[in-house]
Chains A and B, each alone.
Chain A
Amino acid sequence: MKKEIIISGVGGQGLILCGTLLGEAAVIHDKKYATLSSEYGVETRGTFAKSDVIISDREIYFPDATQPNLVVCLAQAAYARYSGAVPKGTLLLYNADEITGDPARAGCEWGLSLTSMARAQGAAATINIITLGIIAGMTDTVTLAGAKDAVEEFFSPKGQKIVQMNLGALELGYQTGMQLRRAASA
């Protein structure tokens, strides 16, 4: 098993945290190999940024995604870079609340209202954790238990309320991911 995932958007959206938690779940909980390499600008926020996560049963050499299985776009700048540019068979998911999708590609890309989902969880900032859940639900990369562990450990210094909110976001993302997976195989 080797899966490559690109989580893209702009700096400040928590993309690298999403990738880090994914990697932690895989390595620490699920005992797999994982790499996370990022690309970002010199600005703290607002310009293109991405995380490449590779999860595998064996040691990973080149740590950048060259054949991504899934690309998640959380900002227009990221969508502009990947839409139509990913290899055939790669799933592209985007946040339809933030991104105007190309109608011509509606058949092969999926828009989700991630901002609305995140707000319903209590904070728009949970988009990255919803995304983590979606990735866990859609792909055989990490187990839900592993992702929960990683989320809980990361947020626990911020208090139980924040932990619960993010676990809720993770669960919601996971269920969404499972639905997408069924739809994709149907």
Chain B
Amino acid sequence: MGKIRFMQGNEAMTEGAIAAGARFYAGYPITPSTEVAETSAIRLPQVGGVYIQMEDEIGSIAALIGAACAGKKAYTATSGPGLSLMAENLGVAVLGEVPCVIIDVQRSGPSTGMATRPAQGDVMQARWGTHGDHAMIALAPSSVQDCYDLMRTAFAYAQRYRTPVIFLADEIIGHLRERCVIPDPEEIPPAEQPDAIGNLQEYRPYDHTNGLAPLAAYGSKHIFKINGSMHDQMGRPCADPQNADQVIRHLSEKIEGAKDEITLTRAYRMEDASYVLIAYGGTARSALSAMELARAEGIPVGVLQLVTVWPVAEKEIDAALAQVKAVVVPELNLGQFIGEVRVRNRRNIPVVGVNRVDGKPIEPAEILEKLREVMA
């Protein structure tokens, strides 16, 4: 059963990371993610891990990449301004195919914005924050329990797809305190381990002809290079057009092609729904309360929660669009995700947003009002 705790989301992320086997954190504290740094600083040394407070976020992600290359499961936590600084090196992790987890507890932006206020303004930044073609995995927790459980998923995805994963939290969930069950240590299954490299004569870190090549650890017997330049199968700089084409298509395909395994969604009361609310992160809580209010009035509405924001849960969104008469997409931004719903809207049904950028969460009543509008 584990231990029931009344816990904060940020703290649960730290515990989840440790349960997932993470033993390295490098970061620069920033509201509203600071408690991840605080609790990691206390907890990691207790489990034989390393915590480093870096000079800034550029250094943080650089250290993360280094630790991951040395075989550690590594994570950091930041907010929008820090993610902006990490954008360049995030690309190094993408091209180098280095597994690591970057927690972004979103706050109101742009720039410094309002440090203590919630937002979901980094949805597109998570997807396209670093330049060049690539795919990205972003998971959005909607409860403190998610903060714990999904960290494990984030590390598993990072490992399995050799990619950075963005843990796209928000201030609502990061600072929320609520019930969370932490399994007893003996109940926690062992963390996902990378495939063994075996006795390859010549280890090729980027030879993906037989599935993704495992990443050797720096300091092991295998010698390989990782840098930000386009590389050949050995990691050596290579500007051959055919090679570049293959590598860049591979970076997208390894994630977009595994979409069915990566996309996690939750359907609430969808069986008989004529309307659907599509939501993610802290806003999913507003949507669920709105659903209860609407159901109490006899409105057949359901919620499709996107736990995986990127890649897009195409199948589930398609199915919802085929089923309902209208879709409402509440977002704590001016509509960063709704476009993904609209491009799939083959029947041309109403797809409308409820958007707030004043630093306050979307209230269930606002969603209900919008729902009544589209029904009229």
Instruction: Check if B5 sits within 8 Å of A28, measured CB to CB.
Output: yes
The answer to the question of B176 belonging to the interface, with a C-beta cut-off of 8 Å to chain A, is yes
* A53 CB, nearest partner CB in chain B, Å: 9
The answer to the question of B288 belonging to the interface, with a C-beta cut-off of 8 Å to chain A, is yes
Q: Complex Cα distance A25/B61, Å? A: 39
Stretch at the interface among B86-94, B149-157, B358-366: B358-366
Instruction: Check if B4 sits within 8 Å of A37, measured CB to CB.
Output: no
Give the chain B neighbours of A62 by CB distance below 8 A: 285-286, 288-289, 361, 363-364
Give the chain B neighbours of A33 by CB distance below 8 A: 178-179
A18-33: which have CB < 8 Å to B? 19-20, 23-24, 26-28, 31, 33
Q: Given the known A-B contacts A63-B172, A64-B363, are A35 and B286 also in contact in the complex, defined by CB atoms under 8 Å?
A: no
The answer to the question of A41 belonging to the interface, with a C-beta cut-off of 8 Å to chain B, is yes
Q: Complex Cα distance A42/B361, Å? A: 18
If over half of B's interface residues share one DSSP class (helix, strand or loop), that class is named, otherwise mixed; here it is mixed
Instruction: Check if B364 sits within 8 Å of A66, measured CB to CB.
Output: yes
Instruction: Check if B6 sits within 8 Å of A37, measured CB to CB.
Output: no
Q: Complex Cα distance A34/B361, Å? A: 18
Instruction: Check if B285 sits within 8 Å of A66, measured CB to CB.
Output: no
How many A-B residue pairs have C-beta atoms within 8 angstroms? Tell me.
63
Count of B interface residues, CB-CB < 8 Å: 21
- The closest CB in chain B to the CB of A39 belongs to B116
- The closest CB in chain A to the CB of B367 belongs to A62
Give the chain A neighbours of B178 by CB distance below 8 A: 23, 27, 33-36, 60, 63
The answer to the question of A164 belonging to the interface, with a C-beta cut-off of 8 Å to chain B, is no
B301-328: which have CB < 8 Å to A? none
Q: Complex Cα distance A38/B31, Å? A: 14
The 7 tightest CB contacts between A and B, nearest first, are: A62-B289, A61-B288, A36-B177, A61-B289, A27-B6, A24-B6, A35-B178
